[in-house]
Amino acid sequence: MLIQKDISLKKYNTFGIDVTAKHFIAVNTINELIDVLKLNNYPDKFILGGGSNILLTKNINALVIHINLKGKKIVSKTESSIIISSGAGENWHEFVLWCINNGYGGLENLSLIPGNVGTSPIQNIGAYGVELKDHFVSCKVIDLESLELKTFNNTECRFGYRDSIFKQNAKGRYIITSVNFKLTTKNHNLRTNYGAIQEELNTMGTTSPSIQDISKAVIKIRESKLPNPKKIGNSGSFFKNPIINKTQFEALVKQFPDVPSYKLSEEAIKIPAGWLIEKAGFKGKTFNNYGVHKKQALVLVNYGGSKGKDILKLAKLIQETIYRIFGVSIETEVNIL
Ligand code: EPU
């Protein structure tokens, strides 16, 4: 067991923030993970997955455990569907590509999302009309209180928009070690309704798309709007799209007739936070070496060497300004440490 001291976490978070872990270990097997969790001489432990949804604002004075559990396997098969299990430490996008290359359909709209398989259920990742929950069967977890293994099925995870039990009641209690997905092996259910996908397929000249084509279209759209974390530090959408009630919405439309909206029900309307931030004048704004992305106002970026606490200050300024102008609160999607 190799526990390292004073390790920089820069390469372990997609924002590329350079903070230090007092102690650090990468675990490759479940037994190793359990052994590490049992270590009494490191009472404070911090679990780090893909590091794609976290803003680190300070050094971590704990034992940082990096979940590096790999492996993909077929659990079961029917005539037209398959259940695949993936270790929590597999890179999400590589896993999606592996599924597509094997002819397993379902996750293609979720191509190029940063992060690891094991953290994908926590915030029920979603893009272009598909959410993780649509293909999630179950996940295996370690209960940090008893160190026993447990399984959560889809209902038990209580998935919502960028939400699950792992962000609510069960926050901090479990470590996800693997996830099972139900995918199709034929008659794939292609979801091309999200406007930008159909447009991209038209541009590609594709009339009867395959799962590969949809993945390619999604990759093109994401690359044109979202910064590549390997080049510019970021955590994807920094804020969630706010959901407001009808009365609030009517008041907003009166003042801002061009506000885009998505009706979830008679009483609940989702507004793109990206629009609010752009309208408030923040899109493309740069402060020293961090700022708001030029092409998608929902994404905060670190151009190199910025501090997490400066990015957090900018996030707070954005939240306050949006509330002042529109009377709408926007919540962070990214976890702040
Ligand atoms: N918009 C603007 N200005 C901007 C950005 C967006 O006006 O700078 C408005 C436009 O009206 C646009 C609408 O917002 O039509 C929606 O924009 P987009 O399709 O880019 O989607 P989004 O709501 O900004 C959400 C997810 C993304 C996901 C896309 C596509 C959240 C918080 N974000 O963004 O997820 O890729 O939809 O499905 O729900 C992520 O979670 O990290 C992420 C990137």
The CA distance from 254 to 174, in Å, is 46
pTM here? 0.94
Residue 130 pLDDT > 80, yes or no? yes
pLDDT, one tens digit per residue, over 40-83 is 999 899 999 889 999 999 999 999 999 999 999 999 999 999 99
Confidence of residue 1 (pLDDT cuts 50, 70, 90): confident
Find the residues whose C-beta lies inside 6 A of ligand 1: 127-128, 225-226, 236-237, 240-241, 260, 272, 274-275, 278, 283, 296-298, 333
- How much is the average pLDDT of 244-269? 96
- How much is the average pLDDT of 240-250? 97
Confidence of residue 203 (pLDDT cuts 50, 70, 90): very high
Active site residues per annotation? 162, 237, 333
pLDDT, one tens digit per residue, over 137-180 is 999 999 999 999 999 999 999 999 999 999 999 999 999 999 99
Class of the CATH domain delimited by 233-336: alpha beta
- How much is the average pLDDT of 305-326? 98
The reply to whether domains 4-67 and 72-225 share a CATH topology is: no
Find the 128 Cα to ligand 1 centroid distance in Å: 9
Q: Which of 318, 325, 331, 324 is nearest to 277 (CA)?
A: 318
Confidence of residue 208 (pLDDT cuts 50, 70, 90): very high
The structural architecture, per CATH, of the domain 4-67 is 2-Layer Sandwich (3.30)
Going by alpha carbons, the residue nearest to atom 33 of ligand 1 is 237
Q: Which of 186, 189, 179, 70 is nearest to 133 (CA)?
A: 179
Find the 45 Cα to ligand 1 centroid distance in Å: 34
pLDDT, one tens digit per residue, over 23-50 is 999 999 999 999 999 999 998 999 998 8
Residue 291 pLDDT > 80, yes or no? yes
Burial of 301 (0-12, 13-18, 19+ CB in 10 A): buried
- Point out the ligand 1 atom lying closest to the alpha carbon of residue 161: 39
- Tell which one of 93, 221, 237, 299 to mutate to probe ligand 1, the residue whose CB is within 8 A of the most ligand atoms: 237
Residue 195 pLDDT > 80, yes or no? no
Domain map (residue ranges) of the chain: 4-67, 72-225, 233-336
Please tell us whether the domain made up of 72-225 is placed in CATH 3.30.56.10: no
